[in-house]
Structure 1
Amino acid sequence: MIGIHARAGSFSDKWIEYFSAKGIPYKLVDCCDSNIMEQLEECNGLMWHWAHHDHRAVLFARQLTYALETSGKYVFPDSKTVWHFDDKVGQKYLFESIGAPVVPTHIFYNKTIAIKWAMTASYPKVFKLRGGAGAENVFIIKNYSDAKKHIDKIFGRGYKVKNRLNFLKERLWHFKRDRTLTSFLNISKGLARLVLPKEAEKKFPTEKNYAYFQDFIPGNDSDIRIIVIGDRAFGIKRMVRKGDFRASGSGNIIYDKNEIPIECIRIAFEVNARLGAQCLAYDFVYKDKKPLIVEVSYSYSREAYIPCPGYWTRELEWVPTSFFPEYFMAEDFSKLI
């Protein structure tokens, strides 16, 4: 029996569809209930697509995962897949520990040391908070003055995880890109958020007392995202936003397999094997014709990958087919139970 925490619009929609079609026993559970262990007594495993913007899940999802694994149950995502989720600081140490090809990253926990580094650093750099998706909480740093401004703030009043002004700017950018009634109406939501923040925004603590910088890698008009699920990998090419340096969240996606460098596929498989992860999305940029990992995440927007024309096997063989990534997750997990 497999326990599933159902969340509309998440991976769980297709998990339930897959298990129902295959006749695989499952039950719906609520991980936020105090008696979740009791709910899972008859289950051999739990599948829960929890999100970085769910303040409740952020509080306890990892701890629940560790506890269930200790009891002998299987979990998706498991601890090897999820401990570094939405944590760029953790990812820096993780990738450096295994010698993965990553964009050079600099982290400081002391303001004086951070400023001293910034005085002699080359620019531009990219300043990030440890969490955020879709290019959220990512800033280009053009010079020492910019760097010091962010260092002063992160070691001072800090940053809100959800920046409402950036949220409005995103809505404006999407309207300029799409020019649709829906994108226009979404601007009003952004304006409303400036005055009335969502309740969930108030639950997240302020990010402060660390400074995270990545080297800016010039010459990239796109990034490559490779998702590895078990023995399969598929990818997309995301074009950089017009007048910006960010590709994440642009919505300008190329699905042609010939645009996906096979070297990125190979590296993603190799790194994923080292990590022992069930499912991870790797973001790559290029420096001197060599792919470098920017960051990684087990969670992603499922709709963006439905048009993918196929996937690669671990042997780097191409399989042309339509598919749902969530079915791959469910298939692999059902084999464990």
Structure 2
Amino acid sequence: MDNIVNGIGMEMKKIFLLTDYKGFFGSKYTAKPYRSGYDRALLTTYFERIGLNAQFIAYSDVFKQEMWDKQLVLYTSSEEVGFHYKEFIEDIVLELEKRGAIVIPGFDYLRAHNNKVYMELLLQRRLKPLISTNETKVYGSMEELNQDISVGAFRYPVVIKRATGAQSKGVFLAKDENELVKYAKMISRTKHVVSEFKEYIRVRKHQGYLPESKYQHKFIVQSFIPNLTNDWKILVYGDHYYILNRGIKKNDFRASGSHYNYKVGSESEFPIQRLNEVRAIYETLDVPHLSLDYAFDGVKGYVIEAQTVYFGTSILEMSNEYYTFKGDDWQVQSQYLDEEGEYVYAMAHYLKQHPELLRG
């Protein structure tokens, strides 16, 4: 990896990496201890190689430092039960951005992490008309869905997804209106006995009172892409494209989490000409790292989901090669970096595209 800072005539610049309450940063498939994130010593070494001084700081300590204007900041996220700590992370990262810190990637992408509603809205805003995304409707309550059902807004089958979750958890195929209502009620139910009893009393006491919804977990409904036999998980680190073919089992429609007929790298059977589209997506989103669920129906490519923060990295361990664009075509290269190396390599690639960030 090149020294990108000295390459533009600067002394070593600090880059701040925000750690969670355990002192961990990032998501690493083979982390030891288990689920402990990236090796901080390795990250420090790799950042030094590109001319950056890595400084680790806990989220709770961030505002003990006053001067954040034009400081480079990287952050991790959280998927712990209830996403309470992620909400805290969002507070800190958003305020850093407001105070002028160069938060990478921007807060939008943290908000989209494990949040399919905002992720879909972000992708629609950033990627259209670049690529097809499934026709998607977002909902914050069952009542809103009922309004669309009443006007015949859907062509069945449709896919309904809980806003949170990974590996196809909370994802269902609704073949008709009855199934859509059933799955929607299942994934949106917000049960609270005391509040529901109070609402029951209010309905009886106040004529015309409309009770609060008992179904307020947000969700999305998407059009169904028929006849797929697989999709691809693609991880992008700078100009390194790692590809995993994920098969779809018979009588199922989901590839994520299937662990069925996996194929990686040059054996992934990915239509190579579509990598130009994937590269355009990566460049348009303008982020260092990207995890993409991608489908191709023989005519069009589809972005099923995308994450730019705290995504699974098992492909890096499953594959010993990646695709990169050299000259005027895509070539297969042997993997030579570990996970920390790929993370920093992608940051170096991103900062080369944005040298103004290093001059702040």
TM-score under structure 2 normalisation? 0.68
- Say if 2:46 and 2:344, in contact at 8 Å, map to a contact too: no
How far is 1:296 from its partner? 0.8
Q: Mapping of 1:162-311 within 5 angstroms?
A: 208=216, 210-241=218-249, 243-252=251-260, 253-258=262-267, 259-298=269-308, 299-311=310-322
**Alpha-carbon shift at residue 332 of structure 1 (Å):** 4.2
Q: 1:85 aligns with which of 97, 113, 125?
A: 113
Change (3 A) 1:326 1:262: farther
> 5+ unaligned residues in a row in structure 2: which ranges?
1-13, 29-36, 193-213, 352-356
Counterpart in the other structure of 1:2: 15
Superposed displacement of residue 120, structure 1: 6.2
CA distance in 1, matches of 2:47, 2:186: 53
Moved over 6 A (4+): none
Task: Indicate how the Cα distance of structure 1 residues 75 and 319 shifts in structure 2: closer, same or farther if over 3 A, else same.
Answer: farther
Instruction: Give the corresponding residue for 1:68.
Output: 96
Q: Distance in 2 between matches of 1:228 and 1:62?
A: 24
CA distance in 2, matches of 1:73, 1:319: 37
Q: 2:341 aligns with which of 311, 327, 330?
A: 327
Identity rate of aligned residues, in percent? Answer: 20
Equivalence for 1:17: 42
Structure 1 distance, partners of 2:156, 2:259, is 28
CA contact (8 A) 1:232 1:311 kept: yes
Alpha-carbon distance, 1:248 to partner: 0.8
Task: Give distance in 1, aligned partners of 2:66 and 2:38.
Answer: 19
Residue of structure 2 in register with 1:36 after alignment: 62
Post-superposition offset of 1:237: 0.7
8 Å contact from structure 1 (residues 19, 330) kept in 2: no
Looking at structure 1, the residues matched to 45 and 184 of structure 2 have their Cα atoms a distance apart, in angstroms, of 51
Q: How far did 1:209 drift?
A: 6.1
Structure 2 residue corresponding to 1:101, chosen from 119, 125, 132:
132
Question: Gapped runs of 5+ residues in structure 1?
Answer: 161-205
The one-letter code sitting in structure 1 at the alignment partner of 2:27 is S
CA-to-aligned-CA distance 1:174-201 (integer Å, 9 cap, x gap): xxxxxxxxxxxxxxxxxxxxxxxxxxxx
Q: How many residue pairs align between the two structures?
A: 288
Confirm or deny: 8 A CA contact 2:242 2:265 kept in the other structure.
no
Distance 1:313 1:302, change over 3 A: same
| Structure 2 CA distance for partners of 1:92 and 1:22, relative to 1, 3 Å | closer
Question: Does the CA-based 8 Å contact 1:228-1:268 persist in structure 2?
Answer: no
Residues 1:221 and 1:231: Cα distance change in structure 2 (over 3 Å): same
Instruction: Tell me which of 66, 69, 74 is aligned to 1:47.
Output: 74
Change (3 A) 1:294 1:159: farther
The 2-side partners of 1:77 and 1:150 are apart by 34
Letter in 1 for 2:331: W
Conserved 8 A contact 2:159-2:222: yes
**Structure 2 counterpart of 1:47, one-letter code:** L
The answer as to 2:163 corresponding to 1:130 is yes
**Aligned equivalents of 1:249 and 1:129: distance in 2?**
16
SS of the counterpart of 1:306?
Answer: helix
Structure number with greater Rg is 2
For residue 247 of structure 1, report the CA deviation from its aligned partner: 1.1
Deviations 1:18-39 (A, max 9, x none): 32256453333211x2x32225
Instruction: Call closer, same or farther: CA 1:152–1:331 in 2, change over 3 Å.
Output: closer
Change (3 A) 1:16 1:116: farther
- The whole-number CA distance in structure 2 between the counterparts of 1:18 and 1:304 is 20
- TM superposition shift of 1:78: 3.1
CA contact (8 A) 1:255 1:308 kept: yes
2:173 match: secondary structure: strand
Task: Tell me if the contact between 2:293 and 2:304 (Cα under 8 Å) persists in the aligned partners.
Answer: yes
Q: Distance in 1 between matches of 2:238 and 2:110?
A: 15
Per the alignment, in what secondary structure is the counterpart of residue 134 of structure 1?
coil
